[in-house]
Every structure is written in C-alpha cells, then in structure tokens.
Amino acid sequence: MIRSIFIWITTSITIFLWLFLLAFSRLFDRDPALYRTGFLFRKLGKVLTKINPFWKLHISGEIISNPRNPYVVICNHQSLADIPLISNLPWEMKWIAKEELFKIPVIGWMMSLSGDIPVDRKNPRSGAMALIKAQRVLEQKCSVMIFPEGTRTLDGRVRQFTDGAFHLAVKAKVPILPLVIEGSHDCIPKNSWKFGKPSDIFLKVLDPVDTSSMTVKDVPALRDSIRLNIIKQIAEWRSVTVEEVNGTN
C-alpha cells in the first residue's frame, strides 16, 4: 500500500509538470498532425513506466523504420496500464479513446492538446465522425491507435473485435499494424487504487498487414485473421490452448 501511494504521488507530480511541457510544445507545433506534441505526450507513458517498480516491460517484434509511414495500429486491451505501456513504442500515433477520458482534468487536457480523437461509444454518429478524423490523421502521415475490443477484458481473454479499425485501414489503403500485450491485466486492478503485484509485461509488434488491394468485403476475414494471430501469441506466452484465450463479448 505504501509503495502504491508513493507511485501515485510521483505519477501525479510528473503528469502535472508534463502538462506545461505539452502546452509549450503545442504553441510552436506547425505540423498539421501535431506530431511533435503528440510524441512528447507518449514520452510521458515511457516515464511513468520507468518510475513504476511494479512494471517490467519487454518489447519485441517488428521494427518500424519510418515513423511517418502511417498505420492503423490495433491491440488487445487488458488494463488501463496498456496506454502508458504501449506509449513506450518509439513513434507517434493518435489514439481513438472514449470521450470520458477527455473530461478528466490534466490527462484529458493533454489528450486534446496532442490531437487524440474522442468518441462517444453510445452514439454511432460519433463513431463515424471519429473514423473520419482518423482518416484525416492518416493522410497527414501519422498513425492511429485503436483498441478493437472496445473496452478492456475482464477475464484476460481476448474479446470479439469490432470492424471500425479494419474499415478505416481498407478505406484509407494503409497497412494494419497489430500489437499484442500480455501481463498487464492485473497492473491496475479494476475498482482498486492499489497496483497489482510486480509483473513482467510483454508487448510485441507483429508484421504489418497490407490492405492496399482489399475492399470492404474483405473486412470480416481480415478482422478474424488478425485477431487469431493475437490470440495465438498470447496462448504461446501463457503455454495454453488458443481456445483458453478466445473470449466472447
């Protein structure tokens, strides 16, 4: 409990100071995608990971040589900790996130300053507008990050994927870059302010999937194929069967 209190105090001070850095960066950021400001915001996630002794992050997989080559990035979702953990990747991407996060003081302000994209999950029109904004970001040579499960898993299994991210990639003719995260489920237990026990967390960048020749008819197969690859990787890490990782909504 004492260690959790210390981490939250340190985290709060760091986030508060980062707000001023981000606001200053935004004043001079002339990139239409606000790439520099957004990338500075993601650096906060790396700092928060470093100061948390409970988290030991292992990153592997595909190396992205050109950060301005845009992707639709997707990942399974295990915990609130996924956001700072994934932000350790060395490139900028705008996150499509539920609009409630944008209303949180300081963190929500920084998301807005960085050009992240809010969506009201209860409003289909809001979802459509978010995808339009995401396509504009892709056209500005910046990647977009989406959790296709919609929300984090409750039992550690991978939920069904929605189609939005895959429609976006096919329409924009950009590759999908799948990520797999494992071990973050108990980093910040739901309905608790205490951090979970020390964890090894694994984050892997899978091979990009080209969508340039695909049409909307290919979306279901594309979605299911990528989801299966993510499930297979988690099953391999856990030394269990694919069926034990394959969840339902």
At 222, the pLDDT band (50, 70, 90 cuts) reads very high
pTM of the model: 0.94
Which helix H or strand E contains 57, and what residues bound it?
Answer: strand 55-61
Neighbours of 106 (CB within 10 A): 13
pLDDT for position 112: 97
Q: What is the mean pLDDT of residues 92-104?
A: 95
Q: What is the mean pLDDT of residues 147-175?
A: 95
Burial class (CB in 10 A: 0-12, 13-18, 19+), 109: middle
CA-based torsion, 200, 93, 215, 161: positive or negative: positive
Q: Which residues contact 183 (CB under 8 A, 6 or more apart)?
A: 78, 199, 200, 201, 202, 237
Average per-residue pLDDT in the chain? 93
Cβ atoms 26, 37 nearer than 8 A: yes
Q: What is the mean pLDDT of residues 101-119?
A: 95
Cβ atoms 34, 134 nearer than 8 A: no
Inform me whether the pLDDT recorded for 32 exceeds 80: yes
Q: How many residues does the chain have?
A: 249
Q: Which domains does the chain have, with CATH numbers?
A: 2-245 (3.40.1130)
Please give the structure tokens belonging to residue 248.
């339902």
Inform me whether the pLDDT recorded for 68 exceeds 80: yes
What one-character DSSP code corresponds to residue 191? T
Inform me whether the pLDDT recorded for 76 exceeds 70: yes
| Tokens 């928060």, residue located | 48
Which helix H or strand E contains 73, and what residues bound it?
Answer: strand 72-75
Inform me whether the pLDDT recorded for 185 exceeds 80: yes
CA-based torsion, 138, 207, 116, 18: positive or negative: negative
Which helix H or strand E contains 223, and what residues bound it?
Answer: helix 219-238
